[in-house]
Structure 1
């Protein structure tokens, strides 16, 4: 698998989103392990140890899948492009005037990445890279573990703030800080406010990742990509659609981005998929 040479985010928005996510995730883990969990479980208890191990598993997969999205090169320049001789199949290829080449079906040019991306789904600001054919799997698991981790932390933190430490946090000033977080950061710097900021970010991350999962899942299940016309020609059934994204070992791929899961398609000659689909119909 080929890696990107320039994998750091390029735009200011991408840099900001990436740094926020890359720094926020490990800080949240440390906060949960050192501040929140000791109020729930004895540090020598089995449930505390198991919760810490689960947290490490989530932290590893979040960061590793995020980095995999950035590192894996999914551009059209990583493969040998051979347009089909068949005129009916060739009509789905298009000329990219920026890259000065014929781009295969489902590939589009990204102005931020400055290249054509194989089966381009969208540009992800949190990873500073386009999500396409070769790194779609890592994006899916990044989102999945973000939902699990952020929601898990939000539940623990909600009980910590609004029940165990209600005397400290449940007041009108807390509501002002939640609505106007800059007020909290600029005029009242303290550990309590820092804890509250982490809690707010967890709530936002949980809600936002749930929305993203709900948005992307129907596309993946139908074998489509974001905002794709005539996507029904690529629909091979739910299971084969999932394998196209997650690979042939998708039942194990969730364990780690280092688990090899070969994709059944090269991301270029989608006419094979279209022909198979037409036969089944």
Structure 2
């Protein structure tokens, strides 16, 4: 595994990337603080067994969201991480192509990203929230980032719903709450209060959950078929469910859910691909 320099990994290449990343960078810690300091003390006695268990679960979720996000950004999955040596065999060489932007002969399943300005091995797509391309070497971290983001957002949404609509129903069941949900920026500007801010965090978690679920649904056939966004319905590289999952999560895939620091080598170098069928 090769890491990108910090200045390249953490510096957004477009305004859209920067805004999406800042939304995650600010939203995750604010949501955790909201959950621990506002919601949990009203649902569980501070220091009790369930309070401690839920607090530890929250730490685990925040750790996996942030660490998988950073792993996506830091792990280099571009052609620059390899000293590319085109194969001598005509069968393999014929599958390589010239990239005019990189001025290099690049492997099959590698495509150029206009935002990152580099060819990416087994390029899946460019992710705004991670400010980088998702490809062969960092797809694992992207998948777990989505999974834990959805799981964490769902948990906070359920607890916040109890807090807002049951424990404090006398305050939040009013027309002005609908205004805060529909136009949060105006609501916080005209009537800034912690109560309105809690509603905004609640709304952001609903959106985070829905986006994560939709993205996981969209990427399900990609994981199942061993393909990428560009040809997501192809079976040219389909190794079966287990083989395809191993190609993304690595040889120790059953342990990778614990942490991005769990070492799990991929069974392929991401360079020389041969299709299993004639679809390509």
- Structure 2 length normalisation: TM-score? 0.95
Contact 2:177 2:196 in 1 (8 A): no
| Structure 1 residues without counterparts, runs of 5 or longer | none
| Structure 2 residues without counterparts, runs of 5 or longer | none
Q: Which residue of 2 aligns with 1:249?
A: 252
2:133 match: secondary structure: strand
Q: Which residue of 1 aligns with 2:149?
A: 146
2:109 paired with 1:106? yes
Instruction: Give the Cα separation in 2 of the matches to 1:47 and 1:261.
Output: 33
Instruction: Give the Cα separation in 2 of the matches to 1:173 and 1:230.
Output: 46
Deviations 1:2-27 (Å, cap 9, x if unpaired)? 11121121111101110110111011
Instruction: Give the Cα separation in 2 of the matches to 1:188 and 1:204.
Output: 23
- Structure 1 length normalisation: TM-score? 0.95
Question: Structure 1 stretches (4+) deviating beyond 2 angstroms?
Answer: 82-92
Q: Which residue of 2 aligns with 1:219?
A: 222
Deviations 1:161-214 (Å, cap 9, x if unpaired)? 111111111111111111111221211111111111100100110111100010
Per mean C-alpha deviation after superposition, the further-off stretch among 3-12 and 69-78 is 3-12
Instruction: Give the Cα separation in 1 of the matches to 2:233 and 2:52.
Output: 50
Q: Which residue of 2 aligns with 1:175?
A: 178
1:233 match: secondary structure: coil
Instruction: Give the Cα separation in 2 of the matches to 1:182 and 1:223.
Output: 42
Instruction: Give the Cα separation in 2 of the matches to 1:20 and 1:126.
Output: 8
1:231 match: secondary structure: coil
Instruction: Give the Cα separation in 2 of the matches to 1:229 and 1:146.
Output: 23
Q: Which residue of 1 aligns with 2:35?
A: 32
Which of 185, 188, 200 aligns to 2:188? It is 185
Instruction: Give the Cα separation in 1 of the matches to 2:273 and 2:146.
Output: 26
Per mean C-alpha deviation after superposition, the further-off stretch among 101-110 and 224-233 is 224-233
Aligned length: 275
Instruction: Give the Cα separation in 2 of the matches to 1:127 and 1:69.
Output: 7
Q: Which residue of 2 aligns with 1:3?
A: 3
- C-alpha displacement at 1:227, in angstroms? 2.1
Which of 262, 267, 274 aligns to 2:265? It is 262
1:102 match: secondary structure: strand
Instruction: Give the Cα separation in 1 of the matches to 2:134 and 2:232.
Output: 18
Per mean C-alpha deviation after superposition, the further-off stretch among 148-157 and 171-180 is 171-180
Contact 2:126 2:132 in 1 (8 A): yes
